Structure 1
Amino acid sequence: MAEKKVVTQISTPKLQREGGGFLVRKVIGGIIPSCDPFLMLDHIGPVDNKPGESVGAPDHPHRGFETVTYVIDGGIKHKDSEGNKGNLKEGWVQWMTAGRGIVHAEMPTDEIMENGGRMEGFQLWTNLPAKHKMIAPRYQEMKPEEMASVENEENKYTVKIISGTVNGVSSKINTLVPITFLDIHLQPGGQFTHDIPPGFNSIAYVWRGSGVLGSMPAHMGQVGLLSEKGTAFTMKATDQDCHILLIAGEIINEPIVKYGPFVMNTQAEIDQAVADYQAGLLGSIPGKEERLQQTEIALARQRESGTWT
């Protein structure tokens, strides 16, 4: 019988403003300072915006890691310097490998800007080992109907597999570091157990409802940091639905030097990344000034209406 993995601590990240005006809970990179190979996990929203008030993240660079965006509600319009573009809608996943460098923009969809609406989602930053930091950028996208999932009526759970494998069912997303990223829905009284390989760091984050992580109760907005020992981790729902992200990744255990959107192994590599960006070597996207202006106008409207606090 597999040894149980337990929660070593339950933490509650505060809701705060981030970047250009996003309301986020900083799960990793905040209340949990580090969790190799993960650099950041932000829970964005939920927030309801009026027409013209939704903010985005205008043109910005990345090098040396991957960004994973998972949309729960609303929509994001993506463009990047590699020529990729599209609208991420409810339930969509975008897995972008920045590698040697990319510039991208993440803006509200035209529909959200025109009509307003709710925005909620997650962004995960996952590190790359030195051997992969300067690979060519790569873009993977997954619609809800393409997402692998498993369901168990007896144990009252449904698991969406963003990356990794559950009960022999695997995601189509290809990762450069072994990573498990699951969105678990437990109905009242439901229970789900997943085996996490040795040598992985892992967290469980309740993003809606409440339940039990291992043996510790947790509610919406709380995260459990899992023990290094053990492999089998069990999550339960009590008297209400519970939605949990289970995220686990193989430890890279290499030096990390960070400077904003660049994550490398040495300061010299960071200096080179800044120089390359300033020289335009990471590329650009037409329409930069328009996106900056749209964001400034949205923030001004939030302040005028009292949405910004």
Structure 2
Amino acid sequence: MTDKTFLRTHAALRDDIGDLLTQRPVPSPQLDQIDPFLFLNHHGPQTYGPHNRGLPFGPHPHRGFETVTFIVEGMLAHRDSAGHESVIHAGGIQWMTAGSGIVHAEVSPRAFLETGGPLEILQLWVNLPSRLKMTAPAYTGVQQDRIPALSLDDGKVTLNLIAGEWDGSTGPVQSLTGVFMSTVAMQAGGRLRITGLQGRNVLLYVVRGRIGVGHHGDLANAYQLVELSTEGDTLEIVAESGSLLLFGHADPIGEPVVSHGPFVMNTRDEITQAITDYQAGRFGSTLA
């Protein structure tokens, strides 16, 4: 077994959306993607007062990829043109396959608008290969109590298993492309060793805290994305302080990526067709 090599960290860049604090580690001027992980927004943490306007993500379209939304604090309401609707609370996730086309809204539910409270949300875009870009849209909302919380390293590490398998446990989401996805809470001194990563690209983002990565213990702080080599099949992470991580891995797709706003396809012609189809109302029923 050989360790993956720590290459560098990428600090999230501040890019607020209205009054919503937003930082984005990928894409950036130095890192276009970690194939198939295309985009990551970190909203918050912040506290909303009573009678607030909530999140600004009203109805908008997507095609050609998947969104995975992690509710760290607060709550998030989802509605889409395929008829799915849910309110997911802290610790839960929303996994949406845009596929051939969907319109959805991600907004604060009425209870949050009225009372306010803490809010912190991560949203990740995961690419789909060309053979799946026009798959049927789908959505899964998962509350925290349905996500296995695996106690590791004598209780100093908790791995919340969202998709994939770990030591006989299986996450509640079955990825179309074999993506492994989790969040990891670590106490200071906690140690996590991951194997079976040969040929896989790793997504490792520090939501909060400070970690050492690899056998050299290279440091990564909150709001930093760790870039690792594709080569190697193991990875070790040690928490320098109490930490929360977004950790996933997947086989790279290795296809051209052409994106335009909410559409991610393989060619410019496919982007043009996506815009035409959306404007013609072919993404399902319109959300009010």
Question: Is the Cα–Cα contact under 8 Å of residues 98 and 137 in structure 2 kept in the other structure?
Answer: yes
Aligned match of 1:258:
259
Provide the aligned C-alpha RMSD in A. Answer: 1.6
Structure 2 counterpart of 1:233: 235
For 2:246, give the aligned amino acid: L
Equivalent position of 2:191 in the other structure = 191
Aligned to 1:222: 224
CA shift, 1:187, in A, is 1.2
1:22 to 20, 37, 43: 20
How big is each residue's C-alpha offset from its partner over 1:76-120, in whole Å with a ceiling of 9 and x where there is no partner? 111100111111111111111011000000011111111111110
Deviation at 1:196, TM superposition (A): 4.4
Read off the aligned partner of 1:219 and give its amino acid letter.
Answer: N
Residue 211 of structure 2 corresponds to residue 211 of structure 1: yes
Residue 34 of structure 2 aligns to a residue in which SS?
Answer: coil
Whether the 8 Å contact between 2:160 and 2:182 is mirrored in structure 1 is yes
Q: Distance in 2 between matches of 1:276 and 1:286?
A: 16
Contact 1:196/1:233 (<8 A) preserved: no
Can you list the C-alpha shifts for 1:212-252, whole angstroms capped at 9, x where unaligned? Answer: 122212221122111122111111113x3111111211101
Provide the residue aligned with 2:101 in structure 1: 101
The answer (yes or no) to whether the contact 1:53–1:116 under 8 Å persists in 2 is no
CA contact (8 A) 1:155 1:192 kept: no
Aligned equivalents of 2:154 and 2:134: distance in 1?
46
Tell whether the 8 Å contact from 1:196 to 1:248 is kept in structure 2 after alignment.
Answer: no
Q: Is the Cα–Cα contact under 8 Å of residues 9 and 224 in structure 2 kept in the other structure?
A: yes
Is contact 1:101–1:282 with CA below 8 Å preserved after alignment? yes
Distance in 2, Cα, partners of 1:138 & 1:147:
19
Name the counterpart of 2:48. Answer: 49
- With normalisation by structure 1, the TM-score equals 0.87
Return the alpha-carbon distance in structure 1 between the equivalents of residues 255 and 11 of structure 2.
28
Distance 1:85 1:284 in 2: 13
Structure 1 CA distance, aligned partners of 2:123 and 2:93? 10
- State how far apart, in whole Å, the 1-side matches of 2:190 and 2:5 are: 18
Shift, 1:277, TM fit: 0.5
How many angstroms apart in 2 are the aligned matches of 1:228 and 1:16? Answer: 29
Task: Quote the Cα distance in structure 2 between the aligned partners of 1:54 and 1:43.
Answer: 16
Q: Deviations over 1:3-28 (max 9, x none)?
A: 1113110221122214x553222122
Which residue is equivalent to 1:150? Answer: 150
Q: Which runs of 4+ in 1 moved over 3 A?
A: none
Contact 2:79 2:85 in 1 (8 A): yes
Q: Alpha-carbon deviations, 1:40-80, whole Å to 9, x = none? A: 11111111122214223000000111111110111111110
Q: 1:119 to 1:39 in 2, by over 3 A?
A: same
Q: Where do 5+ consecutive residues of structure 1 fail to align?
A: 288-309
Q: Secondary structure at the match of 2:21?
A: strand
Structure 1 segment 52-131 matched on structure 2, within 5 A? 52-131=52-131
On the 8 A contact 2:55/2:106 being kept in 1, the answer is no
Instruction: Name the amino acid aligned to 2:252.
Output: I
Assess if the C-alpha contact under 8 Å between 1:67 and 1:124 holds in 2.
yes
Counterpart-to-counterpart distance in 2, 1:286 and 1:227: 42
| Contact persistence 2:207–2:244 (CA under 8 A) | yes
Distance in 2 between residues matched to 1:187 and 1:231, nearest whole Å? 25
* TM-score (norm. length: structure 2): 0.94
Equivalent-residue separation in structure 1 for 2:203 and 2:86 (angstroms)? 30
